[in-house]
Structure formats: structure tokens, C-alpha cells
Structure 1
Amino acid sequence: MAVAAAETRVFLEVRRRLQSALLILGEPDEGGMNLDVSITPTSLLMRTPDGCTETQLPAEVRLVPSSCGGLQYIRGDGLHLRLQARTESGPELISVFNQSLKAQECCTFYCQSCGEVTIKDRKLLRVLPLPSENWGALVGEWCCHPDPFANKPLHPRENDCFIGDTFFLVNLRSDLEQEPKANTKVICKRCKVVLGETISSETTKFYMTEIIIQPSEGSFPNIPRSQFVQSVIARCLVELSSARSTFRFTIQGQDGKVYILLWILNSDSLVIEPLRSSRCVRKFPLLENASEADSSSAWNAVKVLYQPCIKSRNEELASSWESDISVHPLTLPSATCLELLLILARSNASLPLSLRQMNSFQVAFLKI
């Protein structure tokens, strides 16, 4: 096949469960030249009079060229093709909590943003999940008897760690020189980022998006902030949707203000996106590893619909979601809510035009 292109962007989304793939060859920004595209089971080859570019697929993905169908050209977007794809099942997702927390292990807690040690050499004898944050409402909705544990908080002992949806509770009594006040923010001494808040004089809540937990014999892993936030949120969404059949979420700040409405579309996408030349890439150095910004990438992702709720946007819809018991609230520091919104907006802007919206929602991918 041949289309006109000066510089073509390739987008490929593979659905593991459906064993299918969507391939989009973006149309040129300016000028034009002949572009011949060859599809093999393991690669995409694009030839122009100036040379050729080959994109190798991940080892676990094989396309079926003979199955090419649904061929259409969308003006302003490019050439769309649908193919069958043979893929291995995705990697088993390790709980974002269990991958770092193990009972009987001596751990160190770091600020993810700067690496400052928050808790050093803490031996955790019990690592236990907390019940769902809206479990009281579920009891009231489905049970004929009153909730026997209503308004009774659970407080960890010195060597305990209780795990919630987006946070964990630890006892900091032995780590503090003076007794903290309840309902105050916990702030990193070095970078001043909000890490969590005190629940009582002994119990502190740390947010999963702000803290990295490593075995004490290990070292602090330097993970780009955007990559870390996406991974934590994506894994959390996958776990909750799988365990509770919950697919709609409100992302709210510590003050209860809703920042984002999220709706999971699927969690089995493998996205392969060779970028255009470096002069066409807009970098966000505070969010991404700049050394990776110009390279081709393949990543597992959760595909979501989202609506921003800042500056009084979508107030009526947000109010409707908040009153719906099937919608699950996730609480994060307000600054992280804004970070996540920026990550979603950036993902949306990077998609082909025809994929950016679905009904009234915007579409984005969160890398796992």
C-alpha cells in the first residue's frame, strides 16, 4: 500500500484478551512523499525514497498480516488498519503494596520525590489489608443489622502496617522525638512534599504515591516521578476493578475536593509507539526521563476515560458520581491529583486525533 507522508507517526495498540491490534499510520504534517508499508509478523517496515524505517515488535507479539481488515483513511488522523495479533498473556501484576511490603522484613521508607529517609530499619511483623473505605456504606446498604464497627478506627501497633486503597497506616511512636498532633500533614524534611497525615498521636497515614519502601539492605531506586505515579495508580485501579467489579472512580484531594472522574475501559492493552524525530517531541523534563523521550516504546497500560473537575468543571456529573455507591473514591494529596491530571492530559494529547475522545469523556493510557 502507498500513502503520502513526509514524516509518519506509528501508533499500535494490541489487546491481549481480544488477540487483536489497531494500527494507525499518521498523515504528514507538511509536504509529501510516497510511503510503502510492509507488515510482517514481527515488524513494521516503512520505505520512502530517502530510506526505510523498521519497527520491531516485542517478542511476545506476533501480527497476522493476512488478517488485515477495516482499512480506512481518516482525514487529519491517518490510515487505520485492524489485524489479528497473537500475544502471550500479560505479566502477572504484583500488588503495588505486596511488591514492597513483606512481613518479618526490615524496611526503610523513602520520600519518592527526593529520596529522604522517612522511617529507617522498621521491622514489620504484620502487614494486613484494611477493609474497603466504603465498606460501612455497603454494610448499611446490604445488611439488615447495624454496622458493629461504625466509627471505630483501626490503629496499627509498633510493628504493624495496615494497607488501604492508596495509603498505608504505620505506628510512628518510636520514631518521633515529640508526640505529633492528630490531623496534621506529614511533610518531607528535604523537599517539603506532603507525604501523608497523622491520624492520631501514634498512627500516621502515608500515601502510596509519595513513599517508596525498600528492604533496608537495598538502596533508593531513582524512578521518574511520572512513571512512578502512573504505575501506582494503574495497579491500584486494576486491583480494585478485579476484586470489587468497580470500574468508575473519583480522584479526590485530602480536603475531599474531586479533581478527576476516571472510568476504566480495559487493562490488557500493549501500546507500541515509535515517536517522530526528536524535533517533534515535546518534552516535560519534570515528568519524564528525558533520555527516554526520543526512543520507541512499548508498554503495558490501563486505558481510561476521564473528566477533569478543576475550576468548577463537570460539577453536576461529579456530584452524581459521588452519590453513586458503585463509584469508588480514591484519596491522594492535592498536588498529586494535579500531577495525575497533567499525566492524563499529556497522554491524551499524544494519541491520534480519532482516539482522543469517547462520548463526552477524554481518553488516556496509564502505564503499568
Structure 2
Amino acid sequence: MDSVHNFPKFFATWSSSSNILNCILESNWLDQRVDVTVEPEHVIISSSQNGCKFLLRGITLLPDTCRGLKMLNTEELHFSMKGNLSVDDDVFPMKRKKCSSQTETVDTIQRLQNKWYCGVCKQKILTDRCILSRVLPLPSENWSEFADMWFCHNHGNQEESSQKQGRLLPKAKECFVGETYVLVARRHVNNVGIKVTKSGTVICRRCGRQIGEAIESENGLSKEDSIIKFFLHTLLMKDLAYADLIKSEISNGHRVDLNGFFSGLLQEQSDTYASFRFIIESQCDGLSGNVQDRPSSTCLLWMLDSMVQMYRSSSVPDSDGNIQVTKTDVTKIMFKCQLGGLCANRSPDYVTKSVISLWKKDNTVHGFRLPHPVFLQLINLLLQNCKTLPASQRYLNGFHMSFIENSKVS
């Protein structure tokens, strides 16, 4: 019997505009004489010694329309055919929100106040005494480029205003909400459950997960007056005052779906700025060092299609020897990246300065920043998803191909 690693794989993407299913069969059986049979609800691949059946759910194939047979690298068979989705299958499962996620986060914090928890272990993040008098949304990341038109620098005889530095920082009892993070004064952080390391990393003492980072203190400010940046996707904001009534939910944990977080972020950025190409930048933050001297990373990201239905076979056959093919709604992406800091010595095969310059000059390209740990999580997710694609689908025109699973919003 073949090992699981050598078992054939089925991969397909669905085009809703033409009702076409583009299919790829991956198998080392293809270097032999094999038969591929397409029936309305399954695809069968068989040779003289081996065979398996891929069961498709939610779609009915039209075998007579099968065409475009093409063999690549003796291990990939490409073909396409028409099909019909099930009546109950939703081609567009994502429903647009009426307001931005940033506005929703502001409303949630105003309602729940200090009820912030680690998304994994439910460790309390803010102190019980913390009552936030002001919760305000931050402007877009590019606001500081136009600050000269908005502010009179050193207004009120302030020697170094936060506006002049290009930063908006909250004071005591204030919370500023960004698109991917929230800012609060360190004095409101629960030091029993949360630890700030010397390098500025903010971790949960209970589960050891990084949930944020400390922002460099202003001159003359005490440690208690410094600012903590919490990453939104690591937090659970919920009223757990009656934790004994929902003990099972707490014990199971609330692990954050990174696919859902990043797909929602890119969808919102695309809708807001009418763009499908992005320059995502990141700069290492910390408690010391000149900001300009810190290493930076850049990712060029191209959203090819925000609504793609992807079909992939499971790695393990069921008890009957059949392989289930499941459907996932994804955003199809091409990307290049250049990592700074410790990763700067890797081969510069992703992004060159000339390419970045061309994208920055293009008004249709939207740029925004991510906290460095969040940026690295996005790149890692894209690379992991890229590796799950068939070999012929992982690279195109100098870009890596990947996808992000879409979150379903009710």
C-alpha cells in the first residue's frame, strides 16, 4: 500500500463567472499508464496496481465538458470542466460589514472597558481599576505625511509634540485604536499576568505568547507613563464576569484565526482605498535606538481575486479508501517580500529597490504599515499557504503565489 505521502492529491479552483473548475491531479502514478475517470460527483484515478476516488461535495461535474488535458513534470495532470454548484452553496459567503472593523473595535472597548483577555489562555490584560474615559480611532498610517497642513508645531509651548514626531500617543485613561493594534498607557496593564521584557516584547505570563510590544518612552517620562501596543488579533474582548457559566468555552481556548484576521484586513483596505495592490511596510520597534536606524521590511502584495473557491483533497483516505475533497473560500494573492534585520542576509530574490520605487510612484498602489511581529506572521502565513499549492502554481512572473482563507462574517 502506498504511504500517505505518495497518495495522489486533487486541487481545483472554481470560476463563478464561467462555471469552470480548473483541476490539477498530483501523483507519481502519472509516470505510468493511468486512467482518469470523471463522474458527476467524483474523480477516479487508477493504474494497474493502484487506485483512488476523490469525492467532491457541493458541486456536480459535467464529464462531457472535460478538456484541456496537459501533463506537467510527469507528476501533474491539468484539465478543466464545467460544473454546477449545489443549490444551498453560497458562491459569495462573505457579507460586507456596514462599518469598519476599527469603528467596531472602538464601540466594543467603550462598552466592555477593561475586559481584555489573552486570546489563547484568557489571562486578564488590563487592571480592574482601569476605566477608559476616551477611546478614539487613529487616522490612517499615512496621516503624518500631511501633518504640516493640520498642526501648528509646538502649539502651547510644548517642546516636542507628538504630532511633530509623527506619533499620536494616549495619556492615562485613554485608548487609541488602530487598524491592527490598540495603544494604552503601561500603568493600566495587569503586571501580574503580563510581562514586558527588556527588548520591549509584551508577553502573556500564563501561555508565553507575544501579544504586543512596548513603544519607546518620551524623554523625561517614567516607565509607568510609557505606551503598550497590543496586537488586536491576539486579544479577546468579551464580558467574562460570569466565567463559571461558560467554563467550557474558556477551557477550550480561543485561538485566533490568522487567515480570518488578515483576509478581513486586506478586504477592508481594498474596499476603502479601491486598490488591489499594496505596499506593506514594517519597522522593528523597541525601547531604545534611533527609529530611522531600525531595520525595515517590505512586502509587495497583489490581490488577484478576493472571492475564489478552492477545492483540496485531504491527506488521509477514509475507511472506504476514498479521499474527501473540501471547499475553502480564499483570497488569491501574489507577493514579494524583502525582510530586514536578522533576515537581511538572505538572498534578495524577492524585492529590489527599483521595483519598490515603481510601486510607490503608482497612485493605484496603497501603502500601509504593520507592527513588525504582525508583519512576520503575515509573511509566514503566505509562505505556508504557498507550499500547499501544486508546484506549478507557486510562482508566476517573479511573484510567489499564495492565498488567505476568507473569514465568514454574519
Q: TM-score range by the shorter chain?
A: 0.7 to 0.9
> What's 2:111 paired with?
104
What TM-score results when the alignment is normalised by the length of structure 2? Answer: 0.66
User: Is 1:133 aligned to 2:164, yes or no?
Assistant: no
In structure 2, the CA distance between the partners of 1:306 and 1:199, relative to structure 1 (3 Å rule), is: same
In the TM superposition, residue 16 of structure 1 has moved relative to its aligned partner by 4.5
In the TM superposition, residue 38 of structure 1 has moved relative to its aligned partner by 2.2
> What's 2:203 paired with?
188
Q: 1:118 aligns with which of 87, 108, 125?
A: 125
User: Is 1:366 aligned to 2:390, yes or no?
Assistant: no
User: Is 1:92 aligned to 2:116, yes or no?
Assistant: no
In the TM superposition, residue 159 of structure 1 has moved relative to its aligned partner by 6.4
- 1:265 is matched by which residue type in structure 2? L
- 1:239 is matched by which residue type in structure 2? E
User: Is 1:73 aligned to 2:71, yes or no?
Assistant: yes
> What's 2:392 paired with?
354
Whether the aligned pair in 2 keeps the contact of 1:268 and 1:300 (CA below 8 Å) is yes
| d(CA) in 2 for partners of 1:35, 1:214 | 55
| d(CA) in 1 for partners of 2:392, 2:44 | 22
Could you tell me which runs of 5 or more consecutive residues in structure 1 were left unpaired when the two chains were aligned: 1-5, 279-293
Normalized per residue, which structure has more strand?
Answer: 1
| d(CA) in 2 for partners of 1:120, 1:44 | 56
In the TM superposition, residue 156 of structure 1 has moved relative to its aligned partner by 4.8
| d(CA) in 1 for partners of 2:209, 2:25 | 44
Deviation sequence 1:2-46 (CA, Å, 0-9, x none): xxxx84211021245665432222243576463433242xx3232
> What's 1:208 paired with?
232
In structure 2, the CA distance between the partners of 1:27 and 1:242, relative to structure 1 (3 Å rule), is: same
> What's 2:308 paired with?
269
| d(CA) in 1 for partners of 2:112, 2:16 | 36
What TM-score results when the alignment is normalised by the length of structure 1? Answer: 0.72
> What's 1:333 paired with?
372
> What's 2:280 paired with?
250
- 1:38 is matched by which residue type in structure 2? V
Root mean square deviation, CA, Å: 4.0
In the TM superposition, residue 243 of structure 1 has moved relative to its aligned partner by 0.8
| d(CA) in 2 for partners of 1:259, 1:114 | 32
In the TM superposition, residue 100 of structure 1 has moved relative to its aligned partner by 9.9
User: Is 1:229 aligned to 2:229, yes or no?
Assistant: no
Whether the aligned pair in 2 keeps the contact of 1:199 and 1:205 (CA below 8 Å) is no
| d(CA) in 2 for partners of 1:329, 1:66 | 48
In structure 2, the CA distance between the partners of 1:130 and 1:204, relative to structure 1 (3 Å rule), is: same
- 2:253 is matched by which residue type in structure 1? N
Larger Rg: 2
| d(CA) in 1 for partners of 2:77, 2:326 | 20
In structure 2, the CA distance between the partners of 1:39 and 1:125, relative to structure 1 (3 Å rule), is: farther
Residue identity (%): 18
Count of matched residue pairs: 334
> What's 2:246 paired with?
none
| d(CA) in 1 for partners of 2:200, 2:385 | 31
> Secondary structure of 1:242's partner?
helix
| d(CA) in 1 for partners of 2:131, 2:376 | 34
